[in-house]
Structure 1
Amino acid sequence: MAGLKDRIRKLLGRKGTAAAPTNQKQVPNPSVSPSADGAQQQSIPQLDGMFDSHQKVVNPQTRAATVTGQLQVQLQNRTNSSTVYAYITGQAINHNNAIFLLQADAKTPYYPPNPSSTGSKLAVNVSIPLGAPGNSVTATIPQLAGGRIWFSIGAPLIFTVNPGPGLVEPSIFNPADPNHNTNFGFAEFTFNSAQVFVNISYVDFVGPPVSLTLLDTAGATQHVSGLPANGIQTIANGLTAQTQKDGRRWSSLIVNDNAGKLLRILSPNSGILLNPTWFQTYYTDYVNQVYSQYSTRPLTVNTQASFGNVNGQVGSLGNLNFGSGGLFAKPTSADIFSCSTGPFATGQNGETNTIIPRLAAAFNRSTLLLTNTVPNGEKLAQYYTNPITNHYARIVHAANLDGKGYAFPYDDVVPDGGAGQEGALFSYSPTLLTVAVGGNGAFVG
């Protein structure tokens, strides 16, 4: 399976988060436009706001799939609360990519109509109650793009609709959002005619623990462990200790609710978007050391694509020059944490776009002074060992039972044949996806 996953990873693009948060994220309703041959094709735009997914979608022609039109999703309450709700949202692939929400009965689809005003309430109940701790509810979903399985603990979430229609999702950035002080989180997925792909994500924040188990028609099981029940407190403790050690803003990423109870933990990128001065000069010394080192020797980037291995060196103007692969000016801390701004902004040059993820990942993991070949020259034990590194990612990975989960946008970059760090599962023939919230009974499998 690992070799197959590596080949799929090479076929698929990676993307980072959006540059800036909106007060609330609105999912647009994609349009349908004619293709060059006159056939109708679905145009699925990149979703705006902070909650960009990092999902890889396999071209159906790359392998014959045994995917049906529906998928069973078992939603498990592994918290200590009886007030837990689940929500499933996405864009219905076989319904003109219309905005989709699953109703409270966990089987009936709801496609919100286009409202006349912003912030319109949903006409149906989409809060799926999970019942007492240990209880499970099985949901049935159609094929969806940009899917999310949401959980909230202690209170239901509030979704609204804007003209378009556009779904307004819960925001961690807007204090006026009715969900701002609710404990919530989500897993991301795509379910199409080729496969199901699902992952846990800490790219924007850490919320309640979520684990994944995927069963296929052959009886094979894959599992992502997620955090144990006390995992978010472990991360908070680690960030506090790191601030005591280096005096940086790591502990400022910890968010408490109105009662002073630990609610969530922001990623550095989210923290910077809310407070631009945080970490402003954090990576400066490390970046200067990297650019000094590669002014006298080349840096080799394994593009893991048709471009092969490309060499770059810092020239007289101070840019890391990869020739046809583009020039990379020194990134700021914000560029490194976001993976999507400054020299890491993607464009029309395909070769540049394959260099960006691997270079951005190496800066987040601080491996560029340890090897001159990335990612194939890197070893897992070298990640985050420099004092200047993405300590949020280091601490988050350490807190997860299996060490997996997207902690920054390009956390799926690994050496050829290396172990994935992103906490993702996929199958060409899925039969049951189990998503558990709360962390009680979490295990490594």
Structure 2
Amino acid sequence: MATNSQQQQQPAEQQQQQPQAQHVNPAALQEPMNQMYTTSQAATGGSTLSVALQNQTTSSTVYAYITGQAMDNNNALFLLSADAKTPYYPTSPSATGSQLAQNCAIELGAPGNTVTATIPHIAGGRIWFSIGSPITFLLNPGPALVEPSVTNPSDPNAKISWSFAEFTFNTDQLYANISYVDFVGIPIALTLTTTSSGTQHVSGMPANGLDTICSGLQAQNASDGQGWNQLIVQNNGQNLRALSPNQGMVMNPSLLANYYDSYVSQVWTKFSSQQMSIDTQAAAGTVSGEVSGSALSFGGSTFAQPSTHDIFTCSTGPFATGSNAETNAIIPRLSAAFNRSTLLVSDTFPAAENLYYQNPITNHYARIVHAANLDGRGYAFPYDDVQPTNGQDQSGEVHAGDPVLFTVTVGGANASTSTPSNDRKEL
């Protein structure tokens, strides 16, 4: 599951870095991550990894940052220094909103250039990029990292073009994905080269991907008048980013407020007279549910009707996780079915990909984002990693236990569905 950014819209004195939940297949909620993959992907045990940061924008002023928790240093807050090799472990400052003591802005140089960084084992990792200006990171006592916010107008990065990819690198594997859960900004692509398990590639968006998405949101608003255009953030008349619905509702709580109400009512009516079947892809196996009274009941798990806010966040109301393992396994699949609007066209879930986003009431942000990515992949809502067993990945992830080189490309100038060459030049 991917978590939404809870610290956004808070002043610097309140913002604190929380361990970032990675976009892991929800079936892994019941099992350690190292059990998710086959033994043919056994980890090599290397304590560091090379990360190639490639500038495929049209700008020579592009910065990269790498942050996370250093797993081999008691999960200490980690930033990579500007030389792309030296770890920086901030000490706890005496005041909120303190400056970093180290320069952590990695300059990528001219278009086409690549800088190769070296990272240790990191949990909750993010690789950030900005164009035109560096990102301002601050420190609170802890130490806690104050990250950029897309919903706080007073954030020092509010008018900067920036984006990130997420990753975890541990003794078992590297896992990484492209994240659009909160917003879409600069195109990012991923390529993972391994010792013996092949090369994996996530294409990302072409250079004009953001403009394509913003045009799609404008068109959807013209079609249904629901305010999808309000998710577009501009600076000086240019598209800066497109917010996801859950972040758009942070900015404007009335936006899309009752959007899913009629769809939810139709779902409840349908399953009042027939059952649905959910493959939890976990220890609970396949469970059957039916509406009884006002709740959708699976025996040991019951769900009230979700609000639009619950559906877009995937984490509130009936979708809040707790101590019941069966409920926790149902939540991702039910949340995904609402976001993809497959509940009226199927009785078994996760549903097939060809059924996604076909209803007029759906997560059009996710639909438009997937369409704008060259291979259709990328996290567009928190449970976008839900898929049928042996189904097509939607989330834009790469993973392997034998990683050799992790290439993260920013800008989309060479975006392709084919795996790019590893040839690169250094600064």
TM-score above 0.5 = yes
What is the CA distance between 1:292 and its match in structure 2? Answer: 0.2
Question: What are the equivalent positions in structure 2 for 1:185-196 lying under 5 Å apart?
Answer: 185-196=163-174
The aligned residue for residue 253 of structure 2 is: 276
- Asked whether the 8 Å contact 2:62–2:132 carries over to 1, the reply is yes
User: Deviations 1:208-239 (Å, cap 9, x if unpaired)?
Assistant: 00000000012721000000000000000011
Is residue 27 of structure 1 aligned with residue 17 of structure 2? yes
The aligned residue for residue 338 of structure 1 is: 313
- Asked whether the 8 Å contact 2:7–2:16 carries over to 1, the reply is no
User: Deviations 1:292-313 (Å, cap 9, x if unpaired)?
Assistant: 0000011111111111111111
- Asked whether the 8 Å contact 1:67–1:430 carries over to 2, the reply is no
Would the alpha carbon gap of residues 209 and 85 (structure 1) be closer, same or farther in structure 2, given more than 3 Å must change?
Answer: same
Indicate the SS of the match to 1:392: helix
Is residue 54 of structure 1 aligned with residue 23 of structure 2? yes
C-alpha separation between the residues in 1 aligned to 2:82 and 2:7?
32
C-alpha separation between the residues in 2 aligned to 1:421 and 1:230?
21
Is residue 122 of structure 1 aligned with residue 91 of structure 2? no
Is residue 320 of structure 1 aligned with residue 312 of structure 2? no
Matched to 1:295, the amino acid is S
C-alpha separation between the residues in 2 aligned to 1:21 and 1:177?
9
What is the CA distance between 1:18 and its match in structure 2? Answer: 5.8
What is the CA distance between 1:165 and its match in structure 2? Answer: 0.7
- Asked whether the 8 Å contact 2:194–2:403 carries over to 1, the reply is yes
Matched to 2:411, the amino acid is G
C-alpha separation between the residues in 1 aligned to 2:72 and 2:182?
30
Greater shift after overlay, 212-221 or 338-347? 212-221
User: Deviations 1:99-124 (Å, cap 9, x if unpaired)?
Assistant: 00001100001000111111111111
Matched to 1:400, the amino acid is N
Would the alpha carbon gap of residues 342 and 424 (structure 1) be closer, same or farther in structure 2, given more than 3 Å must change?
Answer: same
- Asked whether the 8 Å contact 2:8–2:150 carries over to 1, the reply is no
Matched to 1:255, the amino acid is V
Is residue 260 of structure 1 aligned with residue 233 of structure 2? no
Matched to 2:142, the amino acid is G
Matched to 2:354, the amino acid is A
The aligned residue for residue 42 of structure 1 is: none
Q: With structure 2 as the length reference, what TM-score do the two structures score?
A: 0.92
The aligned residue for residue 292 of structure 1 is: 269
Matched to 2:364, the amino acid is H
Would the alpha carbon gap of residues 300 and 252 (structure 1) be closer, same or farther in structure 2, given more than 3 Å must change?
Answer: same
Greater shift after overlay, 55-64 or 300-309? 55-64
The aligned residue for residue 422 of structure 2 is: none
The aligned residue for residue 429 of structure 1 is: 402
User: Deviations 1:13-69 (Å, cap 9, x if unpaired)?
Assistant: x354366744265215xxxxxxxxxxxxxxxxx44xxxx532468544774421300
C-alpha separation between the residues in 2 aligned to 1:53 and 1:194?
15
The aligned residue for residue 83 of structure 2 is: 105
Give the unaligned 5+ runs of structure 1: 1-13, 29-45
What is the CA distance between 1:85 and its match in structure 2? Answer: 0.2
The aligned residue for residue 348 of structure 1 is: 323
C-alpha separation between the residues in 2 aligned to 1:167 and 1:339?
25
Is residue 415 of structure 1 aligned with residue 388 of structure 2? yes
Q: With structure 1 as the length reference, what TM-score do the two structures score?
A: 0.89
Match of 1:227 among 176, 201, 205: 205
C-alpha separation between the residues in 2 aligned to 1:108 and 1:188?
20
C-alpha separation between the residues in 2 aligned to 1:272 and 1:305?
32
Larger RCO, structure (CA 8 Å, separation 6 or more)? 2
What is the CA distance between 1:132 and its match in structure 2? Answer: 0.7
Give the unaligned 5+ runs of structure 2: 419-427
Indicate the SS of the match to 2:16: strand
Matched to 2:77, the amino acid is I
- Asked whether the 8 Å contact 1:19–1:340 carries over to 2, the reply is no
**C-alpha RMSD of the superposition:** 1.5
- Asked whether the 8 Å contact 1:17–1:339 carries over to 2, the reply is no
- Asked whether the 8 Å contact 1:60–1:193 carries over to 2, the reply is no
C-alpha separation between the residues in 1 aligned to 2:267 and 2:7?
27
Matched to 1:397, the amino acid is H
The aligned residue for residue 120 of structure 2 is: 142
C-alpha separation between the residues in 2 aligned to 1:261 and 1:233?
9
The aligned residue for residue 145 of structure 2 is: 167
The aligned residue for residue 32 of structure 1 is: none
- Asked whether the 8 Å contact 2:197–2:400 carries over to 1, the reply is no
Indicate the SS of the match to 2:72: coil
Would the alpha carbon gap of residues 59 and 382 (structure 1) be closer, same or farther in structure 2, given more than 3 Å must change?
Answer: closer
| Identity, % of aligned positions | 57
Match of 1:311 among 288, 307, 311: 288
The aligned residue for residue 374 of structure 2 is: 401
Matched to 2:400, the amino acid is S
User: Deviations 1:239-283 (Å, cap 9, x if unpaired)?
Assistant: 1000000001111100001x1211000000100122111111110
The aligned residue for residue 4 of structure 2 is: 17
What is the CA distance between 1:380 and its match in structure 2? Answer: 1.2
Is residue 79 of structure 1 aligned with residue 54 of structure 2? no
The aligned residue for residue 368 of structure 1 is: 343
